Amino acid sequence: KSFDFDIREGQRSFVYFEAVNYEAKVYLNGELLGAHEGGFTPFQFEVTGKLKTKDNFIVVKVDNKRKKDGIPTLNSDWWNYGGITRSVHVITVPDLHISDYTIALSKDGKNIEGQVVVDGKLTGDKVFLSIPELKKSIELQPESNGVSRFSFKAKPELWSPEQPKLYKVQIQLGTEKITDHIGFRTIETEGYDILLNGKSVFLKGICIHEEAPYKTGRVTSEEEILTLLGWAKELGCNYIRLAHYPHSEKMVKEAERLGLMIWSEIPVYWTVSFGNELTYALAEQQLEEMIMRDKNRAAVVLWGIANETPLSENRFTFLKKLAEKARSLDSSRLITAALDTQSEKNGSKLIDDPLGDVVDVIGINSYCGWYYGEPSSCSDVKWESLYEKPMIMSEIGGGALAGLHGELNERWTEEYMDDVYKYNLEMIDNISFLRGMTPWILMDFRSARRHLKNIQKDFNRKGLISEQGEKKKAFYRLQEYYKNKN
């Protein structure tokens, strides 16, 4: 659809894409603006001086071909919807404008600190930052590179799942005024504990794919977001794992408003080309775009850098570098990865993946009762770890077709799946260093790998809820468990 544009002196304009999966080439009025690779994070191109007053056309050539050296790679257990999957915006700002800001509570919890970055020619211009509710208002003088840092004493009411307090923050530069709603909290680990605002917390979570309830396809509306997050709240969650790629900004913001802590990850999934430098560069770019987008979201407590990546030297080098990059971009959050490699020691599972040394929190995916063992054997599975770090069970679970009932030993029935949960929850209670969990998964989701006739019908059936909103038995078991869990 063509659009008109009001061209004004002293303004710059950008075309901003929330997400295009997977490769995008963007043209404005027949001229190539640029290209982008990576399906779940935002990017923009400047169009100042290129827009006409009438009949502008933006054309996006999208290629969703799977690539061996891409992130993700050829193989994934989700339907990788292609195309322009999120909104596109034309943004206009003054020549001199605020291009970035980071605002957070300091690690010791005593100050609010951060920086505002301005872009454009400075002639003594000042930036004003205010948090009206805290009666705080400061004036900043950007340095010649446009950056102004600040730190001031403050005692805000802290953001937490019980009290997801957000403060209105305003930043002003000339006539430009930006308003955000920001929460303040600290997150750290101490031994086996995860400390939110200095207190040990157990992350009661669930994994979520960005799959729309009822209609399937990608989540596009606020209503769909609220349905998914509403179910997570109903389950008793204080935490969610947004699998296996960055979800929309709206999803993150709504979760924050509802008091759900977040694990957000990039699709370094299974066997990507760990030996390929270009693949590394792609992963790093997605990591950076994810962090840049959500660094002001208090709800995000964990950056996930990988999921179920088989052991190799190349993989270790790749992921170690990625973790270092994440820390250099954002030293305030915890780094994690979902691991599925461990040894057996005296009948116990021993977490000894070398990546355990690199991450702050160890995620473990383990499908006892589904991919190995009888459900009833799971309560006897014991876990040990080489690392004195918190562990999160980042995936456990089993599948069922909603409405299919039968004996406990009949796969795909709600009873079987419920039994998987029953014994896995007993196993979980025996792991002294476990500080959180996100069973797999909130809702059934489409996958090109799941063809079992009459059961899967191209859906992964490990959802606690079907894609038509029917809750399975295991939903209520986990709900009961979370109700009694501190």
* Binding interface with ligand GCB (CB under 6 A): 77, 244, 307-308, 365, 395, 440, 460, 462
Least separation, in Å, of the C-beta of 430 and ligand GCB? 22
| Pairing label, strands 445-446, 391-395 | unpaired
Cβ distance to ligand GCB smaller for residue 201 or 441: 441
Least separation, in Å, of the C-beta of 175 and ligand GCB? 47
Give the residue among 364, 366, 360, 365 at the shortest CA–CA distance from 390: 360
Measured CA to CA, the distance from residue 391 to residue 307 in angstroms comes to: 15
- As to burial, measured by CB atoms within 10 angstroms (0-12 exposed, 13-18 middle, 19+ buried), residue 220 is middle
Measured CA to CA, the distance from residue 144 to residue 452 in angstroms comes to: 62
Cβ distance to ligand GCB smaller for residue 279 or 365: 365
Residues 196/162, Cβ–Cβ less than 8 Å = no
Cβ distance to ligand GCB smaller for residue 106 or 216: 216
Cβ distance to ligand GCB smaller for residue 244 or 472: 244
Least separation, in Å, of the C-beta of 215 and ligand GCB? 21
Cβ distance to ligand GCB smaller for residue 35 or 448: 448
Cβ distance to ligand GCB smaller for residue 211 or 224: 211
Cβ distance to ligand GCB smaller for residue 165 or 247: 247
Residues 6+ apart with CB under 8 A from 39: 19, 20, 21, 22, 64, 80, 82, 85, 245, 267
Least separation, in Å, of the C-beta of 64 and ligand GCB? 19
Cβ distance to ligand GCB smaller for residue 286 or 460: 460
Least separation, in Å, of the C-beta of 209 and ligand GCB? 8
Least separation, in Å, of the C-beta of 337 and ligand GCB? 11
**Which residue number has the CB closest to ligand GCB?**
77
Least separation, in Å, of the C-beta of 272 and ligand GCB? 14
Cβ distance to ligand GCB smaller for residue 285 or 456: 456
Least separation, in Å, of the C-beta of 462 and ligand GCB? 5
Cβ distance to ligand GCB smaller for residue 63 or 77: 77
- Pull the structure tokens for residue 198: 């200095």
Give the residue among 141, 230, 207, 239 at the shortest CA–CA distance from 443: 207
Least separation, in Å, of the C-beta of 342 and ligand GCB? 14
Least separation, in Å, of the C-beta of 465 and ligand GCB? 15
Least separation, in Å, of the C-beta of 308 and ligand GCB? 5
Q: What is the amino acid identity at position 398?
A: G
Residues 6+ apart with CB under 8 A from 306: 265, 268, 269, 319, 322, 337, 338, 355
Cβ distance to ligand GCB smaller for residue 165 or 315: 315
Cβ distance to ligand GCB smaller for residue 248 or 307: 307
Cβ distance to ligand GCB smaller for residue 282 or 364: 364
Main-chain dihedrals φ then ψ at residue 346, nearest 5 degrees? 45, 45
Least separation, in Å, of the C-beta of 249 and ligand GCB? 23
Measured CA to CA, the distance from residue 107 to residue 225 in angstroms comes to: 31
CB atoms within 10 A of CB 144: 6
Residues 6+ apart with CB under 8 A from 73: 66, 67, 269, 270, 271, 272, 273
Least separation, in Å, of the C-beta of 373 and ligand GCB? 15
